[in-house]
Structure 1
Amino acid sequence: MAVSIVIDRSTSLSNADLMNMQSAANDFIGLLANDDEVAIWQFNGNIDRLQDFTTDKALASGAVNSITLQGSTAIYDAVADAAAYSQTATGRKAIVLFTDGRDNRSSRSKAQAIDAAIAAGTPVFTIGFGNADPNVLDSIATQSGGLAFQDATSANLGALLANIGDLLNNQYVLSWQPPVGDGRSHTIGITVADQGLSDDESRDYTQANSPCGGTCSAERSLPSGYGLNVNNPISIELDSTGQTETFSIVEQLPAGWTATDITQGGVFDGQSGTIQWDNLAPDQVTSLAYNAQTAVDNGTVQFIGTTSFGIRQEAVCGPETLEVGNFFPADINGDFRVDINELTAYGAAWKNDRGWPVEPSPIPLDYAVLAGTLWLNGEAYFFDPNLDPPFASGTATTSQSRVASNLARSVLTARQVAATAERQLPAGFLPGQPITVSIDVSLQNGVVYALTETPPEGWTVENITEGGVYVEQTGQINWGLFFDGQDRTLEYDLIPPADVQAESFFGRLNVDGESFEVTGDTQLNRQSGRIFKDSFEAKASGGVN
């Protein structure tokens, strides 16, 4: 079991409240089994993880005892951060939150905090101190699967914590795999009986129309979505191990779809809209593949396949339904264009690591550069499942419907991007003395680019050139987006901390969606003597370094 203990240190609590919380947290740590893990968090306006998950209970108690009162209250951010971190642990997980429940600083809402806990599968047990807000604590606890305890005092804390410990030690997860996917509604129930007590619960569900259980021999793989007038790659893996008879597979495509590039001798019948493979060898694994095309956005479409061998027939399992491709994340208004306003907002969110309302968030470097490429090449784009990320540029047109935009596009000819980024480091470093790092970016071709650099952790970053931004949350320096295709030298200064002997650097350049690792110097070692001061001062005063 992995438990995150999250303690409110805001000044809305009294010193007596804090002492009670610390005493309660230490008592709870003492209830945990030897192999249980515990992490310690404190929060006011800031969220700090004082101790990572550990089985060393003395370390955890030391972190608890170091907490002092200061600042405002960001409960929702604390719950969301602890829930996200709990996903690094395995097995049963829980959050025990000590607070007065009066948030006045969080950047996230109560609903977002609850959603984070639910997504992490981590129930939150809230223990209210001081003038606690019962509505906040109740909703966080009950909606996440935990329990809320109000009016905690030194007298009743022992019983509350023992109750939580019993609940956590008696949690179970039951899973059940239906034998066949039939697309029908069913009811599943569970009954628990022990020592004369019993309880039961039931739920209705609709089984997916995907027969992947039992003796399925062939399994289909589909892309994340389908594009119009492009090749949509589809594959079927046939496992006939142990069989002695040949196999046949018939795949029914959605109405109006066609198929090309069919492997293993498969034949497409345009009249019936089916692909047929015959005489597939037994006792081996055979990979079948084809490209499917459509010119019409029909929303969600379905693929149905049948496997035959001897007198037996089975359905092809795996995913059967496919939806039309998604919008590019920067395209907030969903018109299959990335305009200048969307681009600048997306680029700023990437550069400052602010997150984005559409996944993926945080924004990856290649997505940020691709947004610039789409905008620079005429704003319009379309979905192509063969690309990663699956979007390509199209010629800018007047505003039109989603379907018409796809049908009328003129695809840009793909080109091979060539570029390098080379880092230059000094011969060595001394603690406390500034050094300069430079990265030379050279583009043989390509237009839109950005670069991310990860300097050593704990070093002070200063004087970043070319509009670069250092993001403390990620420990990265972000440059770009640059739209001119020009070579650049990017520089920044570092001040090494004490007690460091050697450190590594890592960076990545992305040009028009193609990624390149920053080469050159990657390791920097400590040296003795005053080897940098004069050159750094000369640089600062305009001299030659």
Structure 2
Amino acid sequence: MYRGFVFAQDSIADFIRSLEGVSKVALYSYSRDLSRVSGLTSDRSQALRGVRSTVAGDDAALYNSLLLTVKDAARLTGKKAIVVFSNGPDNASLVPPEDVAELAQSTGTIIYMISTQQAEDEPISTAVFERMSKVTGGKAYFSKSWRDEKQAFASIRDDLAHLYTLSYYPQPNPNRGWRTITVKLVGKNLQKYHLRTRDGYRFLQQTASTDNLPLPGPDPVSQ
């Protein structure tokens, strides 16, 4: 059990309050199973109530739950990001993290990871969290205290306020898999700026569109 979870709840709540007004937010929690606590909404109060209702669990099927979350996000158009707070390494998933990263890449979903020192102490978890976030254009943070958590959420909030979408028409390419791209700033006066971008994208065959399908609502709970 993560004894500092109440401080994490405060950081998550502050993060939700600080998001731009046009942003919509959904809140999911997970232990061995995923729970859709609050559906996608611009009403911050719904998500904030959900934050206070969550508890820290003993099991963490992180990759299972994250895959389901990415599938939900795939229904949406526009800029989308998943911010994950984990109080430790995954210890219950059947899904490999590579599957999560591949789907996130294919759907243009950015993944940010905030985890506690417990995960950072495990080299495998550290590498997985960093790789999964990097390949989707996000970043992994490892917090040693509640102050670190607040700083991590503040950094992510700033990132989300400065997201841009670049589009281009590629030349005919027989490669139907991963296509690497590099984005650079040209000009000496721009060298002071730092870009964090995806490393590429996966070719997607045009199929029937599922754009703008609604996300699943909150999971039912017993009264």
TM range (shorter): 0.7 to 0.9
1:176 alignment partner in structure 2: 168
Question: Residue 149 of structure 2 is aligned with which of 126, 145, 157?
Answer: 157
The letter of the residue matching 2:3 is: N
Query: Equivalent residues in 2 for 1:465-544 (5 A)?
Result: none
The Cα shift of 1:190 comes to 5.2
Question: What is the percentage of aligned positions where both structures have the same residue?
Answer: 24
The letter of the residue matching 2:74 is: Q
Cα gap change, 1:193 to 1:160, in 2 (>3 Å): farther
SS of the equivalent of 2:119 reads coil
1:417 alignment partner in structure 2: none
RMSD: 2.8
The letter of the residue matching 1:63 is: G
- Whether the 8 Å CA contact 1:41–1:51 is kept in 2: the answer is yes
- Whether the 8 Å CA contact 1:20–1:153 is kept in 2: the answer is no
The Cα shift of 1:191 comes to 4.3
The Cα shift of 1:38 comes to 0.6
Q: Which has the higher contact order (CA 8 A, sep 6+)?
A: 2
The Cα shift of 1:153 comes to 1.9
2:53 alignment partner in structure 1: 66
1:97 alignment partner in structure 2: 84
1:32 counterpart = 2:24? no
The Cα shift of 1:62 comes to 0.4
Q: Distance in 2 between the 1:32 and 1:49 partners?
A: 20
Cα gap change, 1:195 to 1:118, in 2 (>3 Å): same
The Cα shift of 1:89 comes to 2.4
Q: Distance in 2 between the 1:182 and 1:136 partners?
A: 31
Structure showing the higher helix proportion among its residues: 2
1:131 alignment partner in structure 2: 118
1:15 counterpart = 2:7? no
User: Cα deviation per residue 1:380-405 (whole Å; 9 max; x = unaligned)?
Assistant: xxxxxxxxxxxxxxxxxxxxxxxxxx
TM-score (norm 1): 0.31
- Whether the 8 Å CA contact 2:117–2:142 is kept in 1: the answer is no
TM-score (norm 2): 0.73
1:83 alignment partner in structure 2: 70
The Cα shift of 1:117 comes to 1.8
What runs of 5+ residues in structure 1 fail to find an aligned partner?
A: 1-10, 202-223, 225-545
SS of the equivalent of 1:150 reads strand
The Cα shift of 1:139 comes to 2.1
- Whether the 8 Å CA contact 1:127–1:152 is kept in 2: the answer is no
The letter of the residue matching 1:84 is: K
1:196 counterpart = 2:189? yes
- Whether the 8 Å CA contact 1:41–1:48 is kept in 2: the answer is yes
The Cα shift of 1:148 comes to 0.7
Matched residue pairs, number?
Answer: 184
- Whether the 8 Å CA contact 2:24–2:40 is kept in 1: the answer is yes
Q: Distance in 2 between the 1:58 and 1:76 partners?
A: 28
Cα gap change, 1:107 to 1:177, in 2 (>3 Å): same
Structure showing the higher strand proportion among its residues: 1
The Cα shift of 1:25 comes to 0.8
- Whether the 8 Å CA contact 1:29–1:61 is kept in 2: the answer is yes
User: Cα deviation per residue 1:294-346 (whole Å; 9 max; x = unaligned)?
Assistant: xxxxxxxxxxxxxxxxxxxxxxxxxxxxxxxxxxxxxxxxxxxxxxxxxxxxx
Q: Distance in 2 between the 1:91 and 1:78 partners?
A: 22
1:323 alignment partner in structure 2: none
- Whether the 8 Å CA contact 1:79–1:117 is kept in 2: the answer is no
Q: Distance in 1 between the 2:183 and 2:112 partners?
A: 25
The letter of the residue matching 2:90 is: D
SS of the equivalent of 1:72 reads coil
Q: Which has the larger radius of gyration?
A: 1
The Cα shift of 1:120 comes to 2.2
Q: Distance in 2 between the 1:119 and 1:51 partners?
A: 25
The letter of the residue matching 1:131 is: Q
